[in-house]
Structure 1
């Protein structure tokens, strides 16, 4: 009986994990498409980080820095802040992308958010023009 319960718990955890991955990929797929990138890039492990760097306006060579321990954590935080800005979202949304990507990527991708350019520069320029 204990073996059955253990197996049931294992399969349940696996199905939940698989669901979380699928939901995250769906959200990232739409985020990439909104930014004018191919959606399929969200399912290729290292390439999706390169595309995120590109749509956030960060240099492609940062991808190499993601292989350095502790540096990758700092860069991931900076990247998520830039991705949030690229969709005109605030720092609170960036924190959500960092800690709960399986919730915030679908919100970003399937919601009404629009890609405004790398790190939000298009919106900054537009707001600057309105002020001047």
Structure 2
């Protein structure tokens, strides 16, 4: 989207990019402050006496016994699930694992193609999990030591945004391609696919 032909401002592209990065960073900081400042609802609703979390046995009219357990979700494990719940959990884990594997293979292949386009040495490192970050940093045109910044909490989020918005500019595309990362589920596929194959 090039608005500079409609507006006389020569610095519109740089300004738009800076405004977008500022708003995304501001949103991240506000979200993190909300998570840090807000009390956990589970922590505030904990019972004060220890007897309420114990197993209670009550008599029913026909002489059978009813066993009531606490409804604390942290005490539920896989063995305590019913067969239907176990089958559902297995399907969810299978889908999540398959989706994660497909996403990893696709992004690694696309990152290798991007590295080949930019003549980055050792593009095969895009298949190695931690080295993959180094390839992304180099594709963004940043120094290789930026890899260390990805291991610092909160700094890694900002550096990741800078890298994701800088890779398209290295390929002579709009930095707004970086916004594709925020599209739910398909964003990673769109971002890396468009950069690798267009």
- Please report the TM-score for the alignment, with normalisation by the length of structure 2: 0.50
Equivalent-residue separation in structure 2 for 1:77 and 1:98 (angstroms) = 11
> Does the C-alpha gap of structure 1 residues 4 and 95 become closer, same or farther in structure 2, counting only changes over 3 Å?
same
In the alignment, what sits opposite 2:11? none
Q: Which runs of 5+ in 1 are unaligned?
A: 113-132
CA shift at 1:78, angstroms?
0.9
Alignment of 1:1-132 (within 5 A): 1-2=83-84, 3-37=86-120, 38-97=122-181, 100-109=187-196, 111-112=197-198
Query: Does the 8 Å contact 2:109/2:127 carry over to 1?
Result: no
CA shift at 1:97, angstroms?
4.0
In the alignment, what sits opposite 2:22? none
Which string of whole-angstrom CA distances, capped at 9 and with x for unpartnered residues, describes residues 35-70 of structure 1? 113331111222222222223221222222221111
Higher strand share: 2
Select the structure with the greater relative contact order (CA < 8 A; seq sep ≥ 6). Answer: 1
Q: Which runs of 5+ in 2 are unaligned?
A: 1-82
Higher helix share: 1
Equivalent-residue separation in structure 2 for 1:94 and 1:53 (angstroms) = 14
Query: Does the 8 Å contact 2:165/2:176 carry over to 1?
Result: no
> Does the C-alpha gap of structure 1 residues 49 and 5 become closer, same or farther in structure 2, counting only changes over 3 Å?
closer
Equivalent-residue separation in structure 2 for 1:11 and 1:18 (angstroms) = 11
Equivalent-residue separation in structure 2 for 1:5 and 1:94 (angstroms) = 35
Tell me the number of residue pairs that the alignment of Structure 1 and Structure 2 aligns: 111
Equivalent-residue separation in structure 1 for 2:138 and 2:182 (angstroms) = 18
